[in-house]
Amino acid sequence: MTAARVFVKTGERFSREDDGDFTNPGVPLASGETYNKVYVFPTGSNNITDFDARKPLDSGSMKLLVNNVSHLCYQKCRTLATIVGPGRFEFLKATSPWRNPYRPVTGITQDAERFREIGWNPDDSIRLGPFPAIMDRVVETPRAGTPSETSQTAAPGARCMRKLVMVIRGYRNSSEVYPRFYVCGTEREAASPANPNTSLFQIDASERAWIEQIGSTSVSMPPTPLSPGQAHIQQGWQAYLLDWNDAPAFAGEYRLFIPVSFLTDITTVNQRRAPTSANFEYFVWLGWNAEDDQDAIHSVTLLEVRDIGSAEADANAS
């Protein structure tokens, strides 16, 4: 498993009172120094007139203004997509007369014992986007003596897109079988992730997903590494594969949190896509399959977040 330390190097809050062992500080402060929740202009005020011409501007005031702008950069995460449904999988099967039969996708192997393939068609996947990318994360130089970091594949200094989390509200009908979810990202040209010529983004497989079983506090899946789909890697692309093998067996309603962290160097993609523009768009795909057609997806939300699901969150796993 590869791991890359990616953190918000810019646009980060300066500090938190409750940092604890937060390992990704944006701008280091001296011990005990905090600027969180300090605002030059509180709600309802209009202090622009405080800045008069012909008077020197104090560097301390500038410090606060910088803090405010940085705080805004940190807080302005977007709500990207919301899906109602698609519902119980039995309604998405190929048995309906007005749907095409399931169409296998050439070149993708499958776990024939339990799962059918992901066809990446409207029956078993949905494409979200395009979204304008924001690249305000930077891959950090790995720390010596830390194997999980020195094995990282993304080059230090590479600029990465903002981290996302996909939240799925779903239903698992049987504790004996479980659904499987694939999440990946594509460029504009990609008609489908199944296209082997499609360029997809490298995904940080060190991210952790977790599950909350609704109505029970005793059964939950702690943050668990996502595995790249091995068959898909052979085609030059990756997808998150959420494998519930390690999860406690349960049946019922659940909330599934899947961090989506792309490590692809945005500069490279930009050169391929639009050399003259720093704008960049991308799609996020969600594919699913399950042996039990009573399983269901009730709703899906895709959000920009800051540090959800990172490997550093393991300390909080329990």
Say how many C-beta atoms besides its own lie within 10 A of residue 278's C-beta.
10
Q: How far is the CB of 233 from another protein (least distance, A)?
A: 26
CA 107 from centroid of its chain's CA atoms: 27
| Closer CB to another protein, 57 or 233, in the complex | 57
| Closer CB to another protein, 27 or 105, in the complex | 27
| Closer CB to another protein, 171 or 244, in the complex | 171
Exposed / middle / buried, residue 297 (Cβ in 10 Å: 0-12, 13-18, 19+):
buried
First to last CA, the chain: 22
Q: Which stretches of 173-268 are assigned E, i.e. beta strand? A: 180-186, 208-213, 220-225, 227-228, 240-242, 252-260
Where do the H-state alpha helices sit in 180-313?
Answer: 230-233, 266-273
Q: How far is the CB of 248 from another protein (least distance, A)?
A: 18
| Closer CB to another protein, 42 or 145, in the complex | 42
Exposed / middle / buried, residue 135 (Cβ in 10 Å: 0-12, 13-18, 19+):
middle
Q: How far is the CB of 96 from another protein (least distance, A)?
A: 9
The three-class DSSP label of residue 186 is strand
Beta bridge partners of 208: 225
Half-sphere exposure of 178 (CA within 13 A, CB side): 18
| Closer CB to another protein, 241 or 286, in the complex | 286
| Closer CB to another protein, 68 or 227, in the complex | 68
Q: How far is the CB of 242 from another protein (least distance, A)?
A: 16
Q: How far is the CB of 111 from another protein (least distance, A)?
A: 25
Q: How far is the CB of 40 from another protein (least distance, A)?
A: 8
CA–CA gap between residue 134 and residue 20 (Å, rounded): 28
| Closer CB to another protein, 164 or 200, in the complex | 164
Structure tokens at 232: 């898909």
Q: How far is the CB of 72 from another protein (least distance, A)?
A: 5
